[in-house]
Amino acid sequence: IAGITQAPTSQILAAGRRMTLRCTQDMRHNAMYWYRQDLGLGLRLIHYSNTAGTTGKGEVPDGYSVSRANTDDFPLTLASAVPSQTSVYFCASSLTGTSGSNEQFFGPGTRLTVL
Amino acid sequence: GQNIDQPTEMTATEGAIVQINCTYQTSGFNGLFWYQQHAGEAPTFLSYNVLDGLEEKGRFSSFLSRSKGYSYLLLKELQMKDSASYLCAVMDSNYQLIWGAGTKLIIKP
């Protein structure tokens, strides 16, 4: 693989169900991010990780959790999905999370619908 | 609070020039990014400015004025494939990106 992959591509989920969105990168980037993108709004940061073993909360962390057991993987879990979590979710990575010039590279996104 | 403003939609003609403006108010500044996003796809990096002035990269240029909290993306010799949303994002004092809602650019023949 090259770059960032996300799975699944899309998912329809019943409210109350648990769901894990997967993200894997092969660029050996230290920093990884989860965003949600909703119509009319900018990308909003959910959680981030500046290095394996550490995570931090972004702008909209409630209802989501993450883990960073290794450099490559950064899964996002919805413990009990609600309709307001219907969105397109993007995973991104950058070489570091503490330098201004590092561009973020994005995965193809997961379109999630919670009914 | 933190705020990034850019126009919702713009229309331009193939072969012409278009300027997309972005104004920002953020807690700290560690650079401004422009990304392109085609419908249904992921954002892709276009440019990064951290110092005042113009950065040119082929048909695309980006300008920054930190004192005015202002940037623009200039697209020259527009092509149909430039139809996309253009996202302005500022890196704040915590090195987190604050994103504008994006400008949808429609190119007409």
Which of B5, B8, B99, B104 is most worth mutating to test chain A (most A CB atoms within 10 A of its CB)?
B99
Percent of chain B with pLDDT over 90: 95
- Residue A115 has a pLDDT of 97
What is the pLDDT, as a whole number, of residue B75? Answer: 98
**Across the interface, which of B45, B95, B98 has its CB nearest the CB of A103?**
B45
Structure tokens at A14: 């019943």
- Classify residue B80 by its DSSP letter: G
User: Taking 60 as the threshold, does the pLDDT of residue B101 lie above it?
Assistant: yes
Note which residues in 94-113 of chain A have CB less than 8 A from chain B. 97-101, 103-109
Q: Which residue of B has its CA nearest to A58?
A: B96
φ, ψ of residue A2 to 5 degrees: the values are -135, 125
Instruction: Decide if pLDDT at B27 tops 90.
Output: no
CB atoms < 10 A from the CB of B76, how many? 14
For A29-79, write each residue's pLDDT tens digit. 999 999 999 998 989 999 999 999 999 999 999 999 999 999 999 999 999
Looking at residue B47, its pLDDT comes to 96
| pLDDT recorded at residue A101 | 81
> With an 8 Å Cβ cutoff, is B13 touching chain A?
no
State the Cα–Cα distance between residues A9 and B65, nearest whole angstrom: 39
pLDDT score at A1: 55
Query: What is the pLDDT confidence band of residue B36, given thresholds at 50, 70 and 90?
Result: very high
Token pair recorded at residue A21: 């969105």
Write down the mean pLDDT value for chain B. Answer: 96
Q: Which of B38, B35, B30, B109 is nearest to B73 (CA)?
A: B35
In this prediction, residue A99 has a pLDDT band, given cuts at 50, 70 and 90, of confident
* pLDDT over 80 (residue B1): no
Is pLDDT at A100 greater than 80 in this prediction?
A: no
Give CA–CA dist B36/B30, Å, rounded: 20
Residue at B67: amino acid letter: S
pLDDT in tens, B71-91: 999 999 999 999 999 999 999
What Rg do the C-alpha atoms of chain B give, in angstroms? Answer: 13
pLDDT at B29: 94
Instruction: Please count the residues of chain A.
Output: 115
The whole-angstrom distance between B53's CA and the closest CA on chain A is 16
User: Beta-carbon neighbour count of residue A98 at 10 Å?
Assistant: 13
Helix and strand element counts for chain B (H, E): 0, 11
Q: Name the 3-class secondary structure at B2.
A: coil
pLDDT band of A114, cuts 50, 70, 90: very high
B44 near A CB under 8 A: yes
DSSP string, A36-103: EE-TTS--EEEEEESSTT--EE-SS-TTEEE--SSSSB--EEESS--GGG-EEEEEEEES-SS-TT--
Closest CA to A31 of A7, A47, A20: A47
From residue B52, give the alpha-carbon distance in Å to each of A18, B22, B32, B37: 47, 14, 11, 25
pLDDT of residue B54: 97
